[in-house]
Amino acid sequence: MTATELIQIITGFLGSLGFAILYNIRGKKLIAASLGGFFSWTLYILLGFGIQSEALRYFLVALLLSGYAELMAKLFKTPTTTFVIISLIPLIPGGSLYYTMASVFESDLNLFLDNAVHTLELAMALALGIVATSAIAKMVRKKG
Amino acid sequence: MKELLSCAMDIGEQMLICGAEVHRVEDSIQRMCLARGARRIDVFIITSSMVATVYTEAGDTYTQTRRITSTGTDIERLHRLNALSRKICCEAMTAEQIRDEYQKILGCKKYPFGLECLFCAIITGSFTLFFGGNFVEAGVSFVLGVCIQLLVTFTEKAGMNKIFIKFICSFLASSLAFLAVKLGMIPDIDKVIIGNIMMLIPGVGLTNALRDLFTGDSIAGLLRLIEALLVALAIGGGYFLFVCTVGGL
């Protein structure tokens, strides 16, 4: 693991913690939710050793971390939203969104399209992961 | 029953405002009423409006609607409302008891304002580092985070339109970052702006939009999705206005 990756894991955790505070999450839930942010980026980097595709890694992390969120929600008897929102914050493609915006001014259509498609790919992967888990969780809950 | 429906609607309304998914709120109201002897209950909720009709064993029907105009994510409040709704389902509480508990929940505290500002700054600073900025850039971003939180709080208190607030914030963040470049503190504005964009992006809105959309509440989901997209456009708009003002990068 490189220094950059280590910094990303730490700052990803701090960012999640920050949002957890802003959304008024308290007590042990605060720790569980911010740890979700830590796990998500750690997992993303670990998956990078086997999987090249960024989008696929986004999907898998979103899938697993939403599962983590469902578990925590069960444990703390609280709505799942709490943990889903916070855990997946490091995955928000803010950087690639910005570069898409900035490339509008580069008058280079290809660069813009590349960036836009990349952002969309990541966002879709993230969305699919969240949706898949919430569908599975709903099924499990109905049976149980 | 009328009293109970009114209590259930109050609880549901607050849950929705605090950031619950539509499905959860509908489910909570249904359970509360059914547990208290309703024969049948129909609830329909979208992000801005709620309608519920209860049919009692005695043959009476009651309908209530609520219009929801504000949102403000508050997970602790949501957690407590959720707990209260479960309690109503399994314990025999009188309407007064429910009202009491409900008022107590509304009075529950948020983190102090200073702490919120600090953590806003930590968010923006962290994500500047996260996306490859150095520590000076993170420092600038940190200061900008405080400015943005102050601006958001101030304009929200003044009752300004939420989307327009994001527009102003985005413009301010870009301009201040540009100022820092002109002062020679940082080489370019990219990383600082990214840190601040992460702060402004409507994460809760988008996540809830998806969860609503794919659990069968397509109208509510679409409404939330459009709201989130408008906010995203406003953020982009603020940045574009800045670039046009300074005349290209």
Confidence of residue A3 (pLDDT cuts 50, 70, 90): confident
* Residue A144 predicted with pLDDT over 70: no
| A&B contacts, CB < 8 Å | 136
* Residue A66 predicted with pLDDT over 90: yes
Which pLDDT does position B175 carry in this prediction? Answer: 92
Give the CA distances from residue A44 to residues A47, A50, A99, B132, in Å, rounded to whole numbers and listed in that order. Answer: 5, 11, 21, 16
- Provide, as residue numbers in chain A, all residues whose Cβ is less than 8 Å from the Cβ of B131: 94-95
- Give me chain A's average pLDDT, please: 91
Task: Tell me the C-alpha distance between B188 and B45, whole Å.
Answer: 46
User: Quick check: B207 and A130 CB within 8 A?
Assistant: yes
pLDDT in tens, chain B (249 residues): 888 899 999 999 999 999 898 989 999 999 999 998 889 999 999 989 999 999 998 889 999 999 998 888 899 999 999 999 999 998 888 888 999 999 999 988 889 999 999 999 999 999 999 999 899 999 999 999 999 999 998 998 888 888 999 999 999 999 999 999 989 888 888 899 999 999 998 888 888 888 888 878 899 999 999 999 999 999 999 999 999 888 765
Per DSSP, the three-state class of A118 is helix
Task: Tell me the C-alpha distance between A67 and A59, whole Å.
Answer: 12
Phi-psi bin for B109: left (phi > 0), alpha (psi -120 to 50), beta?
beta
Which pLDDT does position A108 carry in this prediction? Answer: 83
Is A15 in CB contact (< 8 Å) with chain B? yes
Which pLDDT does position B70 carry in this prediction? Answer: 82
Query: Which residue of chain A has the CA closest to B21?
Result: A81
Give the CA distances from residue B98 to residues B17, B85, B243, in Å, rounded to whole numbers and listed in that order. Answer: 19, 9, 54
User: Quick check: A25 and B214 CB within 8 A?
Assistant: no
The interface predicted TM-score of the complex, written ipTM, equals: 0.90
* Span between the terminal Cα atoms of chain A, in Å: 41
Cβ density class A16-45: b for 16+ within 10 Å, e for less: bbbbbbbbbbeeebbebbbbbbbbbbbbbb
Which pLDDT does position B189 carry in this prediction? Answer: 87
User: Quick check: A19 and B203 CB within 8 A?
Assistant: yes
Compute the nearest-CA separation of B123 from chain A (Å).
4
- Provide, as residue numbers in chain A, all residues whose Cβ is less than 8 Å from the Cβ of B236: 101
Contact B42, B53 (CB under 8 A): yes
Task: Tell me the C-alpha distance between A103 and A94, whole Å.
Answer: 14
- Provide, as residue numbers in chain A, all residues whose Cβ is less than 8 Å from the Cβ of B190: 98-99, 102
Which pLDDT does position B249 carry in this prediction? Answer: 58
User: Quick check: B126 and A14 CB within 8 A?
Assistant: yes
CB atoms within 10 A of CB A109: 10
Contacts of residue B7, defined as CB under 8 A and 6 or more positions apart, other chains included, come to B32, B88, B95, B98, B99, B102
Which pLDDT does position B247 carry in this prediction? Answer: 76
Which pLDDT does position B248 carry in this prediction? Answer: 64
Task: Tell me the C-alpha distance between A98 and A87, whole Å.
Answer: 22
Is A85 in CB contact (< 8 Å) with chain B? yes
- Provide, as residue numbers in chain B, all residues whose Cβ is less than 8 Å from the Cβ of A98: 190, 193-194, 197
Which residue in A120, A90, A38 sits closest to B127, CA to CA?
A: A90
Which pLDDT does position B212 carry in this prediction? Answer: 87
